[in-house]
Structure 1
Amino acid sequence: MLAVENPANGQRITTVPDAGPADVDKAVRAAVGAWPAWRVTDRHAALMSCAAVVEEAAPVLAPVLTEEQGKPLREAEAEFTRAAARFRYFAGLRIEPRVVGQAEVHRRPLGPVAAITPWNFPVQLAVAKLAPAFAAGNTVVLKPSPHTPLTTLHLGRMLAEVLPPGVLTVLTGQDPLGEHLVTHPGIRKINFTGSVATGKHVAAAAAADLKRLTLELGGNDPAIILPCADTALLAEKLFWSAFANCGQICMAIKRVYAVGSAYDGVVEALAALATEVVVGDGRTPGTRIGPVNNRPQYDRVIGLTEEARSDGARLVTGGRLDGPGYFFAPAILAEAHDGMRVVTEEQFGPVLPIVRCSTVDEAVGLANATKFGLCGSVWGTDEERAADVAMRLEGGTVWVNEHLAMSLDEPFAGSKWSGLGVSGGVWGIEGNTEPFVVHRPAGAR
């Protein structure tokens, strides 16, 4: 059995099954067996039922999510709200055949999909994989992170009750469970969200069987603050774009490049917010930032912060908090520079380095000088100028005067090492299908 821990106190909550190769084989065989009927079913009603299940589960499972993941209860509830909306969105999305000359181009489902999710958004990211896969006509075997398996396991059992047998199976466990799933010959596509290192391993393991891939990998998202920016006005948006979910969001701001006169104002404004924010147990009313989810990540955040300080960065506010649990007050690191690991690597936690830049060109160059390419943002009162600068950033999504905002019907993809494939909207369904072309004789229509 696999133990589930509460990051607010380090205590064990319960245990869940630790699945092995035999469990993987059973789940994949069930998915293979269910696929022929599922792919030709009108799936609208099933996805709408899934949405209703998610909404009904929220009052019971949101506290469970908070307990195992650490996030404040209102953020856990928001995950369920977003997940239900995603099921409804994909229930109404259809991909019609396209006519190209005498050919009809259809989209056909791939078959059984392996969905592997991380610990930062267990519900939201699970449904982000399930909904388009189901809508396309695929069956799914879902493996949540071993750090946050409990909510997903409960929700998966509830969803399975409104789906045909074998369409969804949730397998919990630790490594090498993911590898057994990725390499199983019955799986035709892998949809993985996680680190770059693990994503590369998944891609290599999947290559032997030429499985299709969607990899949503890490981001080291830059925010450029232009000299014209009103730092007092933008500070709150900027702060929560970096520190929501305790900084544990792949598309959150991870590094700030403040140009010229904007620097001092940004440091001061962010530090003021960081000092005031309430850090604590996510189940306690008033908590705005919960603990880091797990010990390895907590130790990494501490290590990167201390290393930066040793290399000349100034810790304006924040840092490790005493007591049980993995609590780390949001840290603002002034005088950071691009040689520090906290700048060049994705810290994935509540610490934000701020780099002083003399020119916009310098900021853009530093922002792009990375193997990551997920998201980025530019902030300034002159929105046209900010938009021009944003167009120079290398990434899948950029914003002007905001960050993290994203609708269900737009594509989400990373460039460079931040991923392969596309999620979201019609692209999310197409990524779960392959083209099938039918040629008809001239005059047959």
Structure 2
Amino acid sequence: MNDYVMTIDGRPAETAGTFDVLDPATGEVFAQAPNCTPAQLDAAMEAAERAWARWRREGLSVRRKALLDARRILDDHAGELAELLTREQGKPAREAAEEITDAQAWFTYYAEVEDPPQILQDDDSARVEIVRKPLGVVAAITPWNYPLTLASWKLAPALLAGNTVVLKPSPYTPLATLRFGRLLSDALPPGVVNVVSGKDPLGAWMTAHPVPRKISFTGSVATGKLVAAAAAADLKRTTLELGGNDPAILLDDADPVRITEKLFWSAFENNGQVCSAVKRVYAPASRYDDVVESLAAFAGSRVVGPGAAAGTDLGPLNNEPQFTRVRELVGDALTKGARAASGGTALERPGYFFAPTILADLDDGFRVVGEEQFGPVLPVVRYEDVDEVVRQVNASRYGLTGSVWSGDPDRADRVARELDAGTVFVNTHLALQPNQPFGGAKWSGIGVENGIAGLHGFSEPQVIHRAPGA
């Protein structure tokens, strides 16, 4: 149970202190992870700072090769890493394998993307161009829902831009990331990527540390505000990808039966533990009963069980606090008059299992509609006027993603453009790609990840102005 170590300056770093890692399918401890000390964090930051002096000057071809090596490592060790993900996160083996594939796609994209200098002027009076300069050391903090995918969202562009990284996974899911850090040490110069783990207050130490020039954080709104406040004292650059309460608006010409499966998985992927998943459905009154019935029937036919078990569609929630929150939100809705068309209860078995739940007969005044559930729960709200729905949706403090569903894509597109969200999908959802900028409006975040825009978040523009004849 003590085979997991941190990576600092390219070497394994053990700690005297450890913390428990639980299997969410049983609720029992199955491993110990290292608990980083302040001195070890200083060592990781100093190693990253030393490495940056060299890494920033490496040619682009060297950095591209490093990203391709990272992709190869993920491929060579896919089985091992996926098994760890299932064990510590709870997701079905199929989804764990997909997470490894997704992480590879991000490393591949950034290994191949082109971002040449921008020439503003080149004539007899001057040559003016914009180049991008790396920021320095990046402190990257990832959540427990997609440990390796979201690590790749940060590592790949940060390294390509010429930065070095100190990466901290969630204490609920540290193991696959720790293992990946050890594997990366064979492909990168010492100190370029350092991986530390620990319980609170390790994240706070990282954001307040004087070395990093950039904080890239994915997590809750409450913690994101603390990160922003800590970074402000030193004017660190930040990218904050925070929560979402993402709506799916069904227009009156959407076919409930035809879209049920895609709509369901847009909400219940990773057991609903996805920042950008559908969190609430707005269905027209004329189609409401059909939408609820179709979603409930599909939810009721899903197999809930341990992620490692064959045939499992939905695993457990990842941790006890999230399990308690989902149970509380559903209980509150049912107490106030909502109806569970399917599910509605925790399952009587070890671990953090909750039945896939479709809630009906409720409105925006219910907490389960107005707040992010982050679990296997989907409220369906009846509406009469689509313009009023758009107004209600835009009144939310969140603005990560949304979607509009219709038999007429052009009509859906017109509604989509009225939503205040970083990404709006038409007749789909969760269609995320490495070349597609991803970020949120309002409380859902600051800055973007992915694509060229995400790459630019890890660098500063520098203007080079040459006088004639220079």
- TM bracket (short chain): over 0.9
Stretch of structure 1 that moved more, 89-98 or 189-198: 89-98
| Alpha-carbon offset, residue 384 of structure 1 | 1.3
2:146 pairs with 1:118: no
The aligned counterpart of 1:46 is: 66
Where structure 2 has 5 or more consecutive residues not aligned to the other structure, the ranges are: 1-17, 122-126
Match of residue 353, structure 1, among 357, 360, 379: 379
After TM superposition, list the pairs within 5 Å mapping 1:309-324 onto structure 2.
309-318=334-343, 319-324=345-350
* CA deviation map 1:153-197 (0-9, x unaligned): 011110122100000111110000001111111100000000000
SS at match of 2:31: strand
2:87 pairs with 1:67: yes
2:105 pairs with 1:85: yes
Match of residue 363, structure 2, among 337, 346, 360: 337
The aligned counterpart of 1:13 is: 30
C-alpha contact (below 8 Å) 1:225/1:262 kept by paired residues: no
Match of residue 376, structure 1, among 393, 402, 412: 402
| Alpha-carbon offset, residue 21 of structure 1 | 1.1
2:212 pairs with 1:187: yes
CA distance in 2, matches of 1:395, 1:301: 24
TM-score (norm 1): 0.99
After TM superposition, list the pairs within 5 Å mapping 1:399-414 onto structure 2.
399-414=425-440
| Alpha-carbon offset, residue 94 of structure 1 | 3.1
SS at match of 1:146: coil
C-alpha contact (below 8 Å) 1:235/1:269 kept by paired residues: yes
| Alpha-carbon offset, residue 403 of structure 1 | 0.3
CA distance in 1, matches of 2:269, 2:75: 23
* CA deviation map 1:33-88 (0-9, x unaligned): 00011011131111111110111111111111101000000110111111112111
* CA deviation map 1:389-410 (0-9, x unaligned): 1111110000111100122111
How many residues were matched structurally?
A: 444
| Alpha-carbon offset, residue 368 of structure 1 | 1.3
Where structure 1 has 5 or more consecutive residues not aligned to the other structure, the ranges are: none
CA distance in 1, matches of 2:420, 2:92: 33
CA distance in 2, matches of 1:312, 1:420: 37
For 1:21, give the aligned amino acid. P
SS at match of 1:127: helix
CA distance in 1, matches of 2:217, 2:108: 22
Q: After the TM superposition, which segments of 4 or more aligned residues of structure 1 sit over 2 Å from their partners?
A: none
Q: Aligned-pair RMSD on alpha carbons?
A: 0.9
For 1:7, give the aligned amino acid. P
| Alpha-carbon offset, residue 260 of structure 1 | 2.2
The aligned counterpart of 1:435 is: 461
The aligned counterpart of 1:4 is: 21
For 1:217, give the aligned amino acid. L
C-alpha contact (below 8 Å) 1:411/1:428 kept by paired residues: yes
The aligned counterpart of 2:316 is: 291
For 2:364, give the aligned amino acid. D
C-alpha contact (below 8 Å) 1:221/1:376 kept by paired residues: yes
CA distance in 2, matches of 1:124, 1:19: 23
SS at match of 1:60: helix
2:452 pairs with 1:426: yes
The aligned counterpart of 1:271 is: 296
C-alpha contact (below 8 Å) 1:95/1:107 kept by paired residues: no
For 1:298, give the aligned amino acid. F
For 2:264, give the aligned amino acid. F
CA distance in 2, matches of 1:167, 1:262: 55
Match of residue 160, structure 1, among 157, 165, 185: 185
Percent identity over the alignment is 56
2:412 pairs with 1:392: no
SS at match of 1:328: coil
The aligned counterpart of 2:39 is: 22
The aligned counterpart of 2:255 is: 230
The aligned counterpart of 1:171 is: 196
For 1:81, give the aligned amino acid. T
TM-score (norm 2): 0.93
SS at match of 2:355: strand
The aligned counterpart of 2:331 is: 306
| Alpha-carbon offset, residue 321 of structure 1 | 0.5
CA distance in 1, matches of 2:74, 2:453: 23
The aligned counterpart of 1:98 is: 118
| Alpha-carbon offset, residue 442 of structure 1 | 2.5
CA distance in 2, matches of 1:313, 1:361: 24
For 1:241, give the aligned amino acid. S
CA distance in 2, matches of 1:443, 1:407: 44
| Alpha-carbon offset, residue 443 of structure 1 | 4.6
C-alpha contact (below 8 Å) 1:226/1:262 kept by paired residues: no
CA distance in 1, matches of 2:351, 2:410: 45
